[in-house]
């Protein structure tokens, strides 16, 4: 660039030497007293430039870092000019332009010396084509028998472009491609530069190009002939071909195969679309056949997606009973082996274990126990096994807990065995009779009686039945007779609590409304008052009761009136209370008794 600049400067210098700058002498001026012109001067609408001496300049001039061209008459030039066999463009302000300019409805390009460029030009790393007139070209351009495409911005395009309703492809040099082209790993076909789609005949073979223009690798269709397989090298293939995750078979005639296929001693089946059937069962001519993951038609046991199937020697799927190695299996209407569950078949319930084998006797399925008879039917209700009774409720064994049958409750332990007699359940006692039914109400076992609540729990302590109170020990045994409970005496005749005056062993006792023995003074009608202690014993002598002293004679009856005791006199009033610490009148005479109740003469 520096060399080019020096060359241009040399041209300018030569021009200036050959055409010396015109100078208007001051001697030619008639007015020697006028001030000389300096800088730009506008005369008759045209600019000229005068130097500091007042001389008018002509030719190329650099003024304020910009280049101008002043004609031989000194007039500043604008627009296009030709100089030294080159074209320059001077702006309306007279400055020499560089770079892109837009004139005459086109773009032109001038280099850093203002020289207009033509033909191929690389500008800012992009290629442009400037015509013979210097105008920037856009659209399609034919150059040296090759097609190029220039964007509306003038840049040469590469890669895919879309023009005239078609796609075209230009290589890295901008050349438009034609015919079969391998682009980014795909084959494309171009005619007159336009990308083709659909079925295209090339060299006698038909090739299918997709909507995106790329060759459809794999299956392609030839009208009236059938389907073929074309690989990425555009070659027709035979034999097994994998396409879009499916296997196809193409015969020696290169046509896609349909239906049954015998290959290497195995049978395969290709459906209506030519896809090899694999890892599933399909119905063919009214029969269900199974094909493994490799597409091979199978017989015998086959597992698919975790389910077991069985195909007979003809390859037909079994969907009924099957006896295999002495065991019985059942397959549902879909051919799935029934396993690890119960199933009702023809009105009977059968059990199948986790291996699908029909079971009899005890079988555990999903944590539940079942019992099946010798025919494989599930047993429901009560049955006896090994001397124990079990109960199956709604085809499920009640392994623990309560069941309700025949209007009674029964109980089965953790092994499902029915319980009898006394049983402690959750801390409570229950009694089950010989039938295993839970008992309620009064129960007599030998010499003992018990009471079982309506919930079946054995009662203890006080209970109220049949209009009476009864008392049962912690063992549940019912008490009877005179009994002491919580420091109190009660009379339980025949086990029922009684109240009032009761004769026992020749003695009378008083029992209160709550049934407890009345301690202390006891009144017996027409016989007098007596004193009974907490041990149900009649007492004699002095007795202290409710803050007062009483005296009972050897006949156990309460004493009234004067009493001589241990050499002292006492007096017991009409209530039997000993008089003390006061005076009272007795038979018209006053007597005094001290704090001990002893009479003190005046």
Q: Which of 41-50, 299-308, 555-564 holds the top average pLDDT?
A: 41-50
CB count within 10 Å of CB 170 equals 20
User: pLDDT by residue (tens digit) across 364-374?
Assistant: 767 777 777 76
Only one residue has tokens 């539940």, namely 368
pLDDT in tens, 401-428: 899 999 999 999 988 899 999 999 999 9
Q: Which residues pair with 248 in a beta bridge?
A: 241
Give pLDDT, residue 21: 40
How is residue 147 written in tokens? 């097609």
Contact 509, 462 (CB under 8 A): no
149 pLDDT higher than 50: yes
Kindly state the DSSP code that residue 18 receives in the 8-state scheme.
H
Q: Is 399 helix (H, G, I), strand (E, B) or coil?
A: coil
- Residue 26 sits at φ, ψ, to 5 deg, of -70, -20
Q: What is the pLDDT of residues 502-561, one digit of tens each?
A: 777 656 677 778 877 766 555 554 567 777 776 767 788 898 876 788 898 998 888 999
Residue 522, φ and ψ in degrees, nearest 5: -125, 125
User: For 314, which DSSP code?
Assistant: T
**Out of 19-33, 147-161, 307-321, 490-504, which region has the weakest mean confidence (pLDDT)?**
19-33
Task: Tell the CATH superfamily of the 519-602 domain.
Answer: Cholin Binding (2.10.270.10)
C-alpha distance across the termini of the chain, in Å: 166
Record the pTM. 0.40
Would you put residue 3 in left (φ > 0), alpha (ψ -120 to 50) or beta? alpha
What's the pLDDT at 7? Answer: 42
Whether 519-602 and 455-502+510-517 are alike in CATH topology: the answer is: yes
Asked whether 147 and 158 are in contact (CB, 8 A), the reply is no
Q: Which residue has the tokens 């990425």?
A: 232
pLDDT score of 347 more than 80: yes
Residue 16: strand, helix, or coil: helix
Q: 1-27+35-77: which CATH topology?
A: left handed beta-beta-3-solenoid (2.10.270)
Report the alpha-carbon distance of residue 237 to residue 376 in Å, rounded: 57
Q: Within 13 A of 186's CA, how many CA atoms are on the CB side?
A: 15
More confidently predicted of 160 and 343:
160
Q: Report the alpha-carbon distance of residue 34 to residue 40 in Å, rounded.
A: 17
pLDDT digits (tens, 9 = 90+) for 460-477: 999 999 999 999 999 999
Q: What CATH architecture is 455-502+510-517?
A: Ribbon (2.10)
What are the sequence ranges of the domains in the chain? 1-27+35-77, 455-502+510-517, 519-602
Alpha carbon distance 163, 192 (integer Å)? 12
- What's the token pair of residue 411? 């109980």
pLDDT for the residue numbered 454: 96
Predicted confidence (pLDDT) at residue 162 exceeds the cutoff of 90: yes
* 183: its two tokens: 């682009």
């Amino acid at each position: 660039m520096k060399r080019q600049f020096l060359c241009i400067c040399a041209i300018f210098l030569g021009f200036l030497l050959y055409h010396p700058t015109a100078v208007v002498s001051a001697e030619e001026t008639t007015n020697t007293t006028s001030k000389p012109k300096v800088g730009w001067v506008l005369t008759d609408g045209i600019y000229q430039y005068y130097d500091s001496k007042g001389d008018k300049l002509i030719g190329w001039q650099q003024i304020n870092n910009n280049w101008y061209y002043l004609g031989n008459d000194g007039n500043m030039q604008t627009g296009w000019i030709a100089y030294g066999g080159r074209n320059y463009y001077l702006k309306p302000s007279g400055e020499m332009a560089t770079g892109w300019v837009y004139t005459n409805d086109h773009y032109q390009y001038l280099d850093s010396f203002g020289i207009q460029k033509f033909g191929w030009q690389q500008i800012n790393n992009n290629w442009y084509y400037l015509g013979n007139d210097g105008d920037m070209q856009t659209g399609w351009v034919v150059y040296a028998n090759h097609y190029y495409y220039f964007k509306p911005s003038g840049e040469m395009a590469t890669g895919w472009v879309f023009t005239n309703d078609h796609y075209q492809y230009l290589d890295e040099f901008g050349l438009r491609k034609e015919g079969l082209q391998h682009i980014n790993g795909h084959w494309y076909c171009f005619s007159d530069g336009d990308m083709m789609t659909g079925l295209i005949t090339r060299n006698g073979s038909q090739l299918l190009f997709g909507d995106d223009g790329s060759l459809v690798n794999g299956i392609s269709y030839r009208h009236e002939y059938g389907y073929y397989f074309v690989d990425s090298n555009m070659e027709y293939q035979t034999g097994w071909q994998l396409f879009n995750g499916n296997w196809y078979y193409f015969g020696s005639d290169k046509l896609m195969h349909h239906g049954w296929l015998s290959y290497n001693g195995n049978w395969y089946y290709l459906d209506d679309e030519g896809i090899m059937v694999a890892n599933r069962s399909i119905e063919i001519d009214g029969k269900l056949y199974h094909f493994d993951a490799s597409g091979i038609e199978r017989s015998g046991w086959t597992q698919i997606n975790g389910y077991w199937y069985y195909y007979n020697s003809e390859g037909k799927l079994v969907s009924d009973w099957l006896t295999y190695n002495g065991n019985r299996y059942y397959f549902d209407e879909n051919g799935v082996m029934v396993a690890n569950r119960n199933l009702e078949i023809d009105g009977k319930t059968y059990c199948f274990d986790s291996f699908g084998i029909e079971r009899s006797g005890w079988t555990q399925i999903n944590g539940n126990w079942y019992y099946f008879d010798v025919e494989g039917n599930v047993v429901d209700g009560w049955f006896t096994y090994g001397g124990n009774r079990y109960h199956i409720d709604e085809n499920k064994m009640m392994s623990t807990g309560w069941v309700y049958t025949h209007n009674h409750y029964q109980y089965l332990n953790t092994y499902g065995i029915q319980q009898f007699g006394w049983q402690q359940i959750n801390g409570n006692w229950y009694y089950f009779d010989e039938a295993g039914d839970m008992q309620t109400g009064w129960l007599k076992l030998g010499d003992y009686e018990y009471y079982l609540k309506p919930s079946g729990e054995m009662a203890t302590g006080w209970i109220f039945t049949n209009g009476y109170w009864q008392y049962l020990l912690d063992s549940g045994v019912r008490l009877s007779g005179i009994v002491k409970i919580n420091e109190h005496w009660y009379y339980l005749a025949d086990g029922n609590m009684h109240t009032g005056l009761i004769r026992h062993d020749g003695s009378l006792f008083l029992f209160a409304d709550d049934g407890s023995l009345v301690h202390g003074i006891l009144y017996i009608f027409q016989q007098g008052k007596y004193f009974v202690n907490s041990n149900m014993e009649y007492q004699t002598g002095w007795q202290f009761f409710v803050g007062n002293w009483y005296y009972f004679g050897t006949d156990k009856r309460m004493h009234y009136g004067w009493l001589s005791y241990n050499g002292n006199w006492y007096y017991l009033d009409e209530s039997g209370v000993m008089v003390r610490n006061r005076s009272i009148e007795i038979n018209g005479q006053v007597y005094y008794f001290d704090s001990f109740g002893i009479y003190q003469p005046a």
